[in-house]
Amino acid sequence: MLRLSVTVLTSPLLPSSTAAVRIRQRPLLRLRLRALAAGAASSQSPSARSLRLLEWGKVCDAVASFAGTAHGRNATKKQLWEVEDVSYEQSQRLLQETEAAVWLLDNAGGAMDFSGLDTVAIESAIRCVSGGAVIKGLEAVAVASLIMFVESLQLNIKAAMKLDEGSHSRLTALTETILDAVISKSLVKSIQDIVDDDGSVKDTASPELRRYRERVQILESRLYQLMDKLMRNADNEASLSEVCIVNGRCCIRTTGDKSSTFDGLLLSSGAGAGSMIEPIAAVPLNDELQETRALVAKAEPDVLSKLTDKILLELDSIQSLLQETIKLDKVTARAKYSITYDGTFPDLYLPNLENETVTSATGGSPKETSSHTHKKAWKLYMPNAYHPLLLQQYQENLDRAKRDVASAAAEVRRRRIYGQGIIEDQLASDIESMKLRVSQLEKDQPIPVDFMIAEETTVLVITGPNTGGKTISLKTVGLASLMAKIGLYILASEPVKIPWFNAVYADIGDEQSLTQSLSTFSGHLKQIGVCFRITFSNSKS
């Protein structure tokens, strides 16, 4: 087993007066809080603590944000957090999947947009149907969208594969199941015949439903005609106000002190609200309308129940399509992240510690894997490597600044149309400031680091002043090791060669355990000792 240990020892020198002031503010409270924090840190497993120190969770969140569905985001995070349990063979397969998704995004990009799928509604539909409940209209629409999406995806993948005969072997690991999936076009047609895009049941879903709804429209029209006639014929002194609906029954609201000129039933009254009166002439129509609406309310579930039976027959296929779609969304998220930050497919190899040979089984393209023509054999080779979180922060700030410029320019155009020249001039000045910020951000790109460690090197010590980049450098290596292991490209220039590590351990910062009366330095030594014990107990060298 090969494990990577990343260690940073720091000894911050704080002015004694500053420390004294802070302690005098709330000494006991501060001691308790520090003790609790130290106890919480020490209670974590070494691997969990290392992932926290390397800020692996932020990388997981960043990658998951590229998934198009809620289930895809959750699945991506779950998989990334399981990085410690991934074997070398699994790492190779994950990288091959990511490479295949990168190729698909380049050749069939539009088909790889999962954002239009409502996986929550699809899962709810599966749960309803399997549990014997009647499916809702929007759930049925979501199921139809899934089937149509997979059909479109199949067509686009096949079309892209025709453009490159050598793509079949590259895509097998990712697309084999989805290409073999059976699409039920008849089920899609059944759903579209019954349910509108907004989830409402169509009038044409059944003859009975259509007849009942038409009857409802006729009765509502007759009632409003009757109410209009009563209000026009009524004595003006009665101060008839308007037609209202009370508990589904059509009535007239009166606000005058005198009684109305028509007979009716008082449905409700209140101070300032007037009286709600149902004319006697409207009672039969209201009764029939209530009965017909009840028939509509019964006919809609009957139609959806029959549709549920059809979906039940295809339930296994729908479940399989959902699972494969979530998997593709998850892999595509890794690919989109790798593309967005200009990552490189790594040559991930498994060192043989007994005879010091190297086993490599990368699935990268020839351009990426055959370019290791170096005079020296490297154990780790990452030219122009970026810390992923620093690069992400830089890119987000730059994108935000560019969006601000675009929004301000659009506002200037809008104001120019309406002749607001003075305000336009002020906005034009603001735009220049925004453009200057964009220019400054483009110049302040994070500085990459070259990592080149020879094969015979077993320990690397980095020295230098505070804020010199030691911690960032070590975190970059630690995160790169985790990223390659879980199937992500490395944010560095080609070529990238990196060993596969069974685990990554890190000790970074200046934490100390007051509960065990340890100094900062001895606290670090204890953590490093734990990492070394685990490392050497599972190592062959």
Domain boundary at 267, 299, 331, which?
299
Q: Are 505 and 534 in contact (CB under 8 A)?
A: yes
In a domain, 304, yes or no: no
In a domain, 31, yes or no: no
Long-range contacts, stretch 309-312, CB < 8 angstroms, 24+ apart: 310/187, 310/190, 311/125, 311/129, 311/135, 311/140, 311/143, 311/187, 312/129, 312/130
What separation, in Å, do the N-terminal and C-terminal C-alpha atoms of the chain show? 9
In a domain, 198, yes or no: no
Q: Which residues of the chain have pLDDT under 50?
A: 6-41, 237, 354-375, 512-515, 540-541
Co-location of 358 and 482 in the same domain: yes
Question: What per-residue confidence (pLDDT) applies to 261?
Answer: 60
Question: What per-residue confidence (pLDDT) applies to 265?
Answer: 80
Co-location of 61 and 119 in the same domain: yes
Q: In angstroms, rounded to a whole number, what is the distance separating the alpha carbons of residues 115 and 295?
A: 38
Co-location of 499 and 480 in the same domain: yes
The total of other beta-carbon atoms located within 10 Å of residue 468's CB is 11
The total of other beta-carbon atoms located within 10 Å of residue 97's CB is 23
Using alpha carbons, select from 195, 188, 178 the residue that is nearest to residue 143. Answer: 188
In a domain, 522, yes or no: yes
Co-location of 463 and 478 in the same domain: yes
Q: In angstroms, rounded to a whole number, what is the distance separating the alpha carbons of residues 488 and 486?
A: 6
In a domain, 43, yes or no: no
Co-location of 79 and 221 in the same domain: no
Co-location of 161 and 215 in the same domain: no
Co-location of 508 and 533 in the same domain: yes
Per the structure, the count of domains in the chain is 4
In a domain, 47, yes or no: no
Co-location of 335 and 349 in the same domain: no
Question: What per-residue confidence (pLDDT) applies to 350?
Answer: 87
Q: In angstroms, rounded to a whole number, what is the distance separating the alpha carbons of residues 239 and 241?
A: 6
Q: Where are the alpha helices (DSSP H) in 164-282?
A: 167-180, 185-194, 207-233
Co-location of 373 and 483 in the same domain: yes
Co-location of 75 and 172 in the same domain: yes
Three-state helix/strand/coil letters over 28-90: HHHHHHHHHHHHHHHHCCHHHHHHHHCCHHHHHHHHHCCCCCHHHHHHHHHHHHCHHHCCHHH
Co-location of 328 and 349 in the same domain: no
Q: What residue numbers bound the domain in which 405 lies?
A: 400-443
Question: What per-residue confidence (pLDDT) applies to 439?
Answer: 84
In a domain, 476, yes or no: yes
Beta bridge partners of 496: 346
CATH of the domain at 175: 1.10.1420
Q: Cα-Cα-Cα-Cα dihedral of 99, 105, 111, 115, to 10°?
A: 90
Question: What per-residue confidence (pLDDT) applies to 458?
Answer: 80
- Rounded to two decimals, what is the model's pTM? 0.78
In a domain, 429, yes or no: yes
Question: What per-residue confidence (pLDDT) applies to 419?
Answer: 64
Co-location of 368 and 459 in the same domain: yes
